Amino acid sequence: MSDQTPALLVKLGCFPQLHGGLGVVRTLGRMGVPAYAMVEDRFTPTALSRHLAGRFVRPTTGREDASELVAALLQIGREIGRRAVAVAEGDEAAVLLAEHADRLAEWFVLPPVPPALPRRLASKEGLHRICQEHGVPTPRTRSPVDRAELVAVSREWGFPVVLKDREAFTKLDDSAMGHTTVVHDEGELLARCGAAESPSVIVQEYIPLDIAEEWFTHLYVSASGTPRLVFTGHKLRSWPPGTGLTTRARARPNSVLATLAAELCRAIGYCGIADLDWRFDRRDGRYKLVDFNPRFGQQFRLFGTARGLDVVRALYLDLTGQHVPDEQQIHGRGFIVGNLDAVSATVSAWRERRLPASLSRRNLERAWLSRDDPVPAVAEAARFSGTVARRLTKPVRVLAQKGAVS
């Protein structure tokens, strides 16, 4: 067994087809770090990586009592047998680790982030207040108290508008948005919010991409509050188009954005890995903060330095007392989530009635495909095919069920 400190990918909720956790296992495993992961089942792509030292099949909803989740983590720590660096996948995991760091410290090494801060940052309402306190531009945002106010604000601003789950853990509920959602008219708005009189969402101004650009910053901030790595990138495509998960991106220098992100982290006392999403609004020439994720972004492997340093490796080196070299990012690298990018390009082309833009395929980091770790891509292909088949046949199955009832 390696004499290096192990690491554990901590996951709450069920999202076996997200690729970021696989990136964590690969980047740490290639360093020789014993990398462990919490997985939903034995056949998730991450669970099949050759870089994985061990898997813990611990399916959760994220809605369990916090004491139950902490107890499960402590049991995993005992099974690993040594203190491990905990790497949060998802806002909920980041919140749990921060708020229960004292109890978890027996078995896990964690960044000393203020315990209440990740929950505030992951809360769309809380983040908006932080931005107001520190003068950070954001799109117009409102937290409606009921359906009537939600409808009134949307009418006032004009459709489309953006809906987001108000708090980190609410998006794990069956009735939640689950992800950032653009609604185009009042009927869609009411349908998305269901019958609840007090929907747990915020409404945000929509800045269309024909007058905007999508950017993001990934940082690692040490316990002293010093940003050790600051990466900037340009989002080219996403799924769903225009609002969702990055499917195609390029690493590009942006000193203005790097400074904005670093200064905000210093101002609020944040430390650890951070993933910030921005929209550059050409109407006023300002970058507006859309999301602050207190953990790694799914596309973090887009970014690296000449010696292969990324934010997860920087976290590991820093928390284990090793030197984190001061290096600049490599620009021009690309990132692609092949299956989702193909869907995004196809849907966008259909909506816009034109062929998708030709994008460079040079120097691409692929979310799934890897020469030294091919099995996860095969597993994802199988799962993705099943997901597509279920969605395509859903109308048929619904009709069959109605026929059986009648």
**What distance in Å separates the CA atoms of residue 112 and residue 269, rounded to the nearest whole number?**
10
**What single-letter DSSP state applies at residue 209?**
G
What digits encode the pLDDT tens for the residues 210-231? 999 999 999 999 988 889 999 9
CATH number of the domain to which 174 belongs: 3.30.1490
Q: Which of 155, 171, 205 is the last residue of a domain?
A: 205
In this predicted structure, the answer to whether residue 11 has a pLDDT above a threshold of 50 is yes
Q: Is residue 240 a contact partner of residue 259, using CB atoms and an 8 Å limit? A: no
In this predicted structure, the answer to whether residue 127 has a pLDDT above a threshold of 80 is yes
Q: Which residue, 96, 50, 106, is CA-closest to 70?
A: 96
Query: Residue holding tokens 């953990």?
Result: 295
In this predicted structure, the answer to whether residue 402 has a pLDDT above a threshold of 60 is no
Q: So what's the pLDDT on residue 358?
A: 75
pLDDT, mean of residues 304-317: 96
Sheet holding 108-109, edge to edge: 52-57, 35-39, 7-11, 84-89, 108-109
Pair 265, 352 in one domain: yes
Domain ranges, residue 60: 7-110
**What distance in Å separates the CA atoms of residue 170 and residue 188, rounded to the nearest whole number?**
20
H or E stretch covering 102: helix 101-104
**What distance in Å separates the CA atoms of residue 91 and residue 292, rounded to the nearest whole number?**
10
Pair 182, 232 in one domain: no
Asked if residue 372 belongs to a domain, the reply is: no
Asked if residue 182 belongs to a domain, the reply is: yes
CATH number of the domain to which 69 belongs: 3.40.50.20
Asked if residue 127 belongs to a domain, the reply is: no
Asked if residue 389 belongs to a domain, the reply is: no
CA angle 164, 165, 167 (to 5 degrees): 130
Pair 34, 175 in one domain: no
The tokens of 341 are what? Answer: 């990018």
In this predicted structure, the answer to whether residue 178 has a pLDDT above a threshold of 90 is no
Pair 195, 213 in one domain: no
What digits encode the pLDDT tens for the residues 326-377? 888 999 999 999 999 999 999 988 888 888 877 888 899 999 999 999 999 9
**End-to-end Cα spacing for the chain:** 62
**What distance in Å separates the CA atoms of residue 158 and residue 151, rounded to the nearest whole number?**
10
The tokens of 263 are what? Answer: 């200064």
Q: Is residue 48 a contact partner of residue 19, using CB atoms and an 8 Å limit? A: no
Pair 217, 346 in one domain: yes
Q: Which residue, 123, 125, 102, is CA-closest to 114?
A: 102
What digits encode the pLDDT tens for the residues 185-208? 999 998 887 666 777 889 999 999
User: For residues 392 and 151, which has the higher predicted lDDT (pLDDT)?
Assistant: 151
The tokens of 81 are what? Answer: 């047998």
CB neighbours of 240 closer than 8 A, spacing ≥ 6? 179, 182, 344, 347
Distances (CA, A) of 118 to 51, 271, 294: 29, 10, 6
Q: Which of 205, 222, 256 is the last residue of a domain?
A: 205
Confidence of residue 303 (pLDDT cuts 50, 70, 90): very high
**What distance in Å separates the CA atoms of residue 9 and residue 110, rounded to the nearest whole number?**
12
Pair 222, 175 in one domain: no
The pairing of strands 84-89 and 245-251 is unpaired
**What distance in Å separates the CA atoms of residue 232 and residue 218, rounded to the nearest whole number?**
7
Q: So what's the pLDDT on residue 361?
A: 82
CB neighbours of 76 closer than 8 A, spacing ≥ 6? 8, 36, 38, 56, 58, 107
Asked if residue 36 belongs to a domain, the reply is: yes
Q: How far is CA 23 from the centre of its chain?
A: 13
CATH number of the domain to which 227 belongs: 3.30.470.20
The tokens of 119 are what? Answer: 């929950």
Pair 103, 186 in one domain: no
CB neighbours of 213 closer than 8 A, spacing ≥ 6? 234, 279, 280, 282
Pair 180, 255 in one domain: no
Sheet holding 161-165, edge to edge: 141-142, 201-205, 161-165, 181-183
Q: So what's the pLDDT on residue 244?
A: 84
What's the number of domains the chain is made of?
Answer: 3
Pair 279, 350 in one domain: yes
Q: Which residue, 19, 88, 23, is CA-closest to 52?
A: 23
Asked if residue 2 belongs to a domain, the reply is: no
Q: Which of 184, 205, 226 is the last residue of a domain?
A: 205
Pair 13, 88 in one domain: yes
Pair 196, 180 in one domain: yes
Q: Which residue, 13, 56, 58, is CA-closest to 35?
A: 56
The tokens of 38 are what? Answer: 């919490």
In this predicted structure, the answer to whether residue 399 has a pLDDT above a threshold of 70 is no
Query: Residue holding tokens 């998006």?
Result: 171
pLDDT, mean of residues 96-122: 97
- Name the percent of the chain lying above pLDDT 90: 75
Q: So what's the pLDDT on residue 168?
A: 75
Pair 303, 264 in one domain: yes
* Neighbouring-strand partners of residue 109: 85
What digits encode the pLDDT tens for the residues 130-165? 999 999 999 999 999 888 899 999 999 999 999 988
Asked if residue 390 belongs to a domain, the reply is: no
Asked if residue 75 belongs to a domain, the reply is: yes
310 by DSSP, 3-state: which?
coil
The tokens of 17 are what? Answer: 């087809």
